[in-house]
Structure 1
């Protein structure tokens, strides 16, 4: 008899819980990761440059002013496809370019808005020059550190294609 009473009480609690309105049941908040914005190189052109004197290097360099459209994406998850340019294999430094090596910002006539620095979530990844790949990470805008590119994808991961 005791088993039947316990079973009936447990069944009643489960039934009550199943039909209790959601607003009365407390649940921890669910955080949904935002889908990355699929960036295009055209979107990254939302920037203007003016020459600025940098006394620490005794040189004029291009100082960026980011447009409102690209500023809205700062700190957001993004995906971008381009050509991989190894800078330093040992330090895991890579750049993603809108153009292959022969026409990139460093070697060709493209502008600084056509390259993005990749700061990987995990070290040890190896890529060959001009591999066309897609990467996902957090977009960072850089106007003040002259030793970094203007665009950075932080916590970058390669997207399998």
Structure 2
């Protein structure tokens, strides 16, 4: 459901930005296989991940990622957003990549939206079971300078 809401909200929100470098943690998070399966509870086909050993090893660990904000403060407040490895024009929600390129972020402190690339660190939760959440969730996160 969350994936559908985000897709609906941001399909037309495209901001072309520089994407010259990609952090190594994103490369590790990309080591996942996605299988579409019908979910009887939601009554439609959704993505189910199978995580690599490298991804599973990051579960519960503090990691840092850089990327671009997809604001969702209307859903949960200014301490919540989705971080995309790619600018909006190329992100998962706009059709340029897969669900492994986005992370739900729950910050310790509120943050106003920015179109600039940011870097966050926090505790990673790997989600393979709850289709109402993204595959990756960064909790207790902080913005790094």
Give TM-score, length-normalised by structure 2.
0.77
RMSD (CA atoms)? 1.5
Shift of 1:104: 0.8
Quote the residue 1:85 is aligned against.
Answer: 70
Any idea what SS the aligned residue of 2:94 has? coil
Q: Deviations over 1:106-131 (max 9, x none)?
A: 11321000001101122x22122x32
Q: Contact 1:39–1:79 (CA<8 Å) still a contact in 2?
A: no
Question: Residue 111 of structure 1: which of 87, 98, 101 is its match?
Answer: 98
Shift of 1:105: 0.6
Q: Contact 1:120–1:157 (CA<8 Å) still a contact in 2?
A: yes
Question: Residue 125 of structure 2: which of 111, 127, 140 is its match?
Answer: 140
Q: Rg: which structure is higher?
A: 1
Structure with the bigger RCO (C-alpha within 8 Å, sep 6+) is 2
Question: Residue 153 of structure 1: which of 122, 127, 138 is its match?
Answer: 138
Q: Deviations over 1:14-68 (max 9, x none)?
A: xxxxxxxxxxxxxxxxxxxxxxxx7521111111011121112110111001100
Count of matched residue positions in the alignment of Structure 1 and Structure 2: 121
Quote the residue 1:72 is aligned against.
Answer: 57
Counterparts of 1:152 and 1:88, CA distance in 2: 16
Quote the residue 1:9 is aligned against.
Answer: none
Which 5+ residue runs of structure 2 have no aligned equivalent?
Answer: 1-22
Q: Contact 1:142–1:151 (CA<8 Å) still a contact in 2?
A: yes
Shift of 1:98: 1.0
Which structure 2 residues correspond to residues 28-43 of structure 1 after superposition, within 5 A? 39-43=24-28
Question: Residue 97 of structure 1: which of 79, 84, 90 is its match?
Answer: 84
Counterparts of 2:45 and 2:95, CA distance in 1: 20
Residues 144 and 151 of structure 1, relative CA distance in 2, 3 Å threshold: same
Quote the residue 2:112 is aligned against.
Answer: 126
Which 5+ residue runs of structure 1 have no aligned equivalent?
Answer: 1-37
**Where does structure 1 differ by over 4 angstroms across 4 or more consecutive aligned residues?**
none
